[in-house]
Amino acid sequence: MAASAKVVNKQVKFTLTFRRLPKKVIKQVKSSPQSPTYLLLDNCAFRLVERVGDNIPRYAILSHTWGPDSDEVTFKDITKGRGKSKPGYHKLTFCSKQAAKDGIEFFWVDTCCIDKTSSAELTEAINSMFKWYQKADRCYALLSDVSTGSSASEITPEVWGSKFQSSRWFKRGWTLQELLAPVFVDFFSQDGEWIGDKTSLLQAVHDATRIPAQALQGGALSQFSTDERMSWTEGRETTREEDRAYSLLGVFDIHMPLIYGEGQQKAFARLRRGIEVSRRVQSLIKPPWTVPFRRDDDFVNRDSLDKVCRICAQPAGRASLVGLGGIGKSQIAIEYAYRVRDQSPAKWVFWVHAGTRARFEDEFRRIAEAIKMNGWDDPKVNVLRLVRNWLCNESNGKWTMVVDNADDADVFFNNTSQSRSGSSSDQQKLTGSYSSIIEVDPMDEEDALILLEKKLGSPVARDEAVQLVHTLDSIPLALTQAAVFIRQRAPRMSVLRYVQKVRKSDQHQARLLEKDVGDSRRDGRASHSIIATWQISFEHIRKHMPTAARLLSLMSMFDRQGIPESPLEGKYTVDGDGDISFDDDIHTLSSFSLIKMNTDGREFEMHQLVQFSTKKWLELRNELEEWKGMYAALMDASYPVGRHENWPVCRALFPHAQVMLHSQPKDAAMLQAWASVLFKASWYASEVGQYNEALGLGSTALLVRESVLGAEHITTMDSLDSLGEVLNQQGRMSNLASTYRKQGQWRKAEELEIKVGEVRTRVLGEEHLATLTSKANLASTYREQGRWKEAEELQAQVIKTQEIVLGKEHPSTLNSMAGLTMTYMNQMRWENAEELGMQVLKTRETVLGKEHPSTLLSIGDLAVIYREQGRWKEAEQLQVQVTDAQKIVLGQTHHSTLNSMSSLALTYKEQGHLYKAEQLEQQVMQTRKTILGNAHPDTLTSMNNLAFVLKAQNRIAEAVVLLDECLVLGKPVFGSEHPYILSSAEALYQWVQECKVEDHQTQG
């Protein structure tokens, strides 16, 4: 950094002497293919300097269009100390001077840093070119056919705009990767005047190339299809026809030998074969990486990171990073994750957001999906337990997990394997040892100055930099935001002027900080600094880019992590905004470090203090209610109902629906949309078994609808009916059964369903679909309670009306008929059940298809009927068919699949295949315990069935113990008078008596 300051403060005289690289050294460098080799030009001497391995200094790189070969300075010219008279020599002097201005000592130019007389070196260079551009500090794109005028003041869009977009640079094949690979690309005119960079000229570059903004902004190229990436080269030309294909090697991350003379067609054919082979290989390799953020090239090493590396290098190493908001904990964790990958490419590295339980579970589900764990696609699977079991399995290999924003370890974690390593932000309880807690303090002055200079991209007077560092208390997030703002506004904004601006904003910051930020770990120093920099950036954006400010206002309403792209686009602008680009607004917010994109550019997140500052600012401006209402309307339009086909969208938006519980709008019209979102989120939560969340969301939606619309409004009844279903399902869960006597939650569900049915009958009429749905739900509750006659009478009544109103083939009618079939089965009226069940099956096959989940359920019901009639072979054949189909359609751990497997086990038992029955029922029982818990009714059913299998094997003592445990757990769930409990109690009594007889005979 001292050298950079020297370049700025003094006029540097470049000694244009050339030194030939010793042949021995060149040979040694070229013969080390295992280490990356860089031949760089030294700024001050224009001599080649070799760098091998990881010892690569900062360097700039030139992108240009070639003139005639005889005009360009070559590798041989450099090594022999000649070439000053060539027209291309000015490119070297330009690159050297610009690198010096940027404080960079070395630079790279393709004309003279590659020995093109060596086919081996040329092949290596072309295959490595993309990475060389990618790792460069700056890329200077010199546009030889664009003039900006005689002075910097004339550099305006009007002057260079059309020439810029039509430049020959955008038509050359090799410049495609030179545009995509580097993080920073600066465009210069033929006179060496700076036009702009890839960030400020994003729209112009997009218009010139038609390359998506996400790709231009550094998004993973793998997210774009092969055909789309191929299309980016259309209209581009290369001197040699094969280079049309070779220039795409880096874009597709392909390595292949060069065969000049083979022709363009064969070169592209080889390229496409390489792409296909790479795709197949990648499909066979487990994805070892889920970190959603790019590495920060400006990261400044800190003692805290060294401590993390030291602690987590130990077996079962765990470290907890704790400290102020914005202090750099997440950046340390990101850098650590990348270092782990660099050192151990085969190790799994997982990144988990833990801001809320919903977000935490969703992150674990993503891990399960990435690894394709058994049961990952079952929405009702206990994904936390599923992933935990995988992590504890030593055979799956080593892994590292970073848990970000983990504030409540008791909620999120059980003990994991002691043979792995992990790093966590914001949570002391994870480590289990005080020595593993790492306090992250503000940066020391020197580190803060280094970070500031890196983020500014150029040297700065030390006294000015020190003032800014002290003003912002060495908080990394605040320094980053300040540097971005200064850089965006240079030269009109300097470090000193920014310091003055911060100090003037104290009064407004005090207003923002009147209320607690909501995080006891943060102190006023960090909050003050971050809010100060936020305020300056936000007010600038609001003045000059108002749509970006509106977008940030809307984004602040979401859960701050995992903000999806799809609901935002086009939903925040107002009349008069003109033709606004969503990508431009996202780029603006990202450039000012107000939001952060994940690696694919489709999700965003913001720091907690940025979100707090934005919402507090809106509140002080009396705009918060407007945005609450807009968010409610947006979510209502985006959040679908909780049917099976909508579950992926529901799951992605669920955390953003949950945060709405804490942001209730005041406007009555917006309250309706707000309650609608909660209602649909509750529906989804109930469908996937998250009953506690469903109850909280559904109850709130019901209260609001009753208050705003009235107790008998149709949507209020929808909420009441839905809540009844949640309580019905909860009544089948052991953790709530102890709270309610006997059939507790079922009784509550019954009361709600009766109330809803009465109101719907009075308001909507006997034949309305909603009224019939209420009656059908009530009948299901009767059946679950063992009140089969009442269930049968109500079901028959509902079916009769549905056949008239909806028709015999309507799905609701068929569902009611299937419910009546089950009631017949409960009463062991097998002939009635078979006749009705066969009718439902045939109709469902015709209307819904043979592999629809409802059709498969009907086949399973028919199989049970066959088994109970002694038609065991027919039953087994159907059950095997259904189980195989359900594993494909629903997943191996879906409750319907497990029901079919359990039923098949009973069929094996009836045929005397006791070993097969025991093995299958054991598998089902263990899966249900894992997913549902020990006292869930489905788990209890498996315990009961397995006990009978053990009894059939004459293992009476084991059977007695298991059935007794089943009854102890089952009585609070079903009630002592439930038919299931009574029949099991009778069997247990008989078995105990048999045990006593056996004991007596043994003793006699």
Among 385, 375, 383, smallest CA distance to 416 is for: 385
Question: Tens digits of per-residue pLDDT, 412-452?
Answer: 554 444 333 444 444 444 555 566 788 888 888 888 898 88
Per-residue model confidence (pLDDT) at position 946: 94
Q: In what order do the strands lie in the sheet with 348-353?
A: 348-353, 399-404, 421-425, 318-323, 437-440
In the chain, the N- to C-terminal Cα span, in Å, equals 96
Element holding 633 (H helix, E strand): helix 624-638
Cα–Cα distance, 332 to 401 (Å, whole number): 14
Predicted confidence band of residue 222 (pLDDT cuts 50, 70, 90): confident
Phi, psi of 849 (to 5 degrees): 105, 160
The 3-class secondary structure across 356-424, one letter per residue, is CHHHHHHHHHHHHHHHCCCCCCCCCCCHHHHHHHHHHCHHHCCEEEEEECCCCHHHHCCCCCCCCEEEE
101, with CB counted inside 10 A (0-12, 13-18, 19+), is middle
Domain boundaries, given as residue ranges, for the chain: 2-222, 223-282, 303-440, 459-660+693-716
Predicted local confidence at residue 676, as pLDDT? 86
pLDDT at 170 over 90: yes
Contact 709, 716 (CB under 8 A): yes
What is the arithmetic mean of pLDDT over 818-839? 91
Buried b / exposed e over 375-393, threshold 16 CB at 10 Å, is: bbbbbbbbbbebbbbbbee
What is the pLDDT confidence band of residue 998, given thresholds at 50, 70 and 90? low
Q: Domain 303-440 carries which CATH code?
A: 3.40.50.300
- Secondary structure element (H or E) that encloses residue 927, with its range: helix 914-932
Is the pTM value of this prediction over 0.75?
Answer: no
Contact 39, 48 (CB under 8 A): yes
Q: Distance (Å, rounded) from C-alpha 677 to C-alpha 719?
A: 11
Task: Let me know: does 967 contact 768? Beta carbons within 8 Å.
Answer: no
* Residue closest to 672 by CA, chosen among 709, 711, 628, 637: 709
* CB-based contacts of 516, cutoff 8 Å, min separation 6: none
Distance of alpha carbon 863 from alpha carbon 870, whole angstroms = 11
Most confident of 40-54, 125-139, 371-385: 125-139
d(CA 578, CA 455): 33
Give the confidence band of 840 by pLDDT, cuts at 50, 70, 90: very high
Picking from 145-159, 725-739, 971-985, which range would have the lowest pLDDT averaged per residue? 725-739
Higher pLDDT, 767 or 453: 453
User: Do strands 37-42 and 48-52 pair parallel, antiparallel, or not at all (unpaired)?
Assistant: antiparallel
Given a contact cutoff of 8 angstroms between Cβ atoms, the answer to whether 653 and 638 are in contact is yes
Mean pLDDT of 265-292: 77
Angstrom distance (rounded) from CA 570 to CA 900: 47
> Is the model more confident about 978 or about 74?
74
Q: In what order do the strands lie in the sheet with 138-142?
A: 48-52, 37-42, 106-108, 59-63, 138-142, 185-188, 194-197
Mean pLDDT of 443-468: 88
Query: Is residue 635 pLDDT above 90, yes or no?
Result: yes
pLDDT confidence band for 37 (50 / 70 / 90): very low
- What angle, 0 to 180 degrees and rounded to 10, lies between the N-to-C axes of helices 668-687 and 624-638? 40
pLDDT score at 984? 86
Q: In this predicted model, what pLDDT tens digit does every residue of 874-884 receive, in sequence order?
A: 999 998 989 88
Q: How many CB atoms lie within 10 A of CB 117?
A: 10
State yes or no: pLDDT of 6 exceeds 50.
Answer: no
Which is it for the CA torsion 20, 24, 27, 32, positive or negative?
Answer: negative
pLDDT at 942: 92
Compute the C-alpha angle 884/888/890, nearest 5°: 105
Closest by CA position to 171, among listed 249, 240, 233: 233
Q: What is residue 747's predicted lDDT score, i.e. its pLDDT?
A: 65
Tokens at 22, concatenated: 């010793």
Q: How confident is the model at residue 390 (pLDDT cuts 50, 70, 90)?
A: confident
243 falls in which pLDDT band (50, 70, 90)? Answer: very high
Q: Is 194 helix (H, G, I), strand (E, B) or coil?
A: strand
Coil vs helix vs strand at 688: coil
Phi and psi at residue 624, in whole multiples of 5°? -65, -45
For the chain, the residue count is: 1004
Helices (H) and strands (E) in the chain, counts: 45, 15
pLDDT interval class at 834 (50, 70, 90) = very high
Q: What is the pLDDT of residue 269?
A: 92
Pairing of the two strands 603-605 and 563-564: antiparallel
Residue 474 banded pLDDT, cuts 50, 70, 90 = confident
**Average of pLDDT values for 783-802?**
86
Burial class (CB in 10 A: 0-12, 13-18, 19+), 764: middle
Distance CA 802, CA 804 (A): 5
What's the pLDDT score for residue 411?
A: 52
Taking all residues of the chain, what is their mean pLDDT, rounded to a whole number? 78
According to the model, what pLDDT value does residue 248 have? 94
Mean pLDDT of 333-346: 86
Tokens found for residue 176? 């495609």
Q: 680-710 b/e with 16+ CB inside 10 Å = b? A: bbbbbbbbbbbbebbbbbbebbbebbbebbe
* Structure tokens belonging to residue 884: 């195989």
**pLDDT higher than threshold 60 for residue 492:** yes
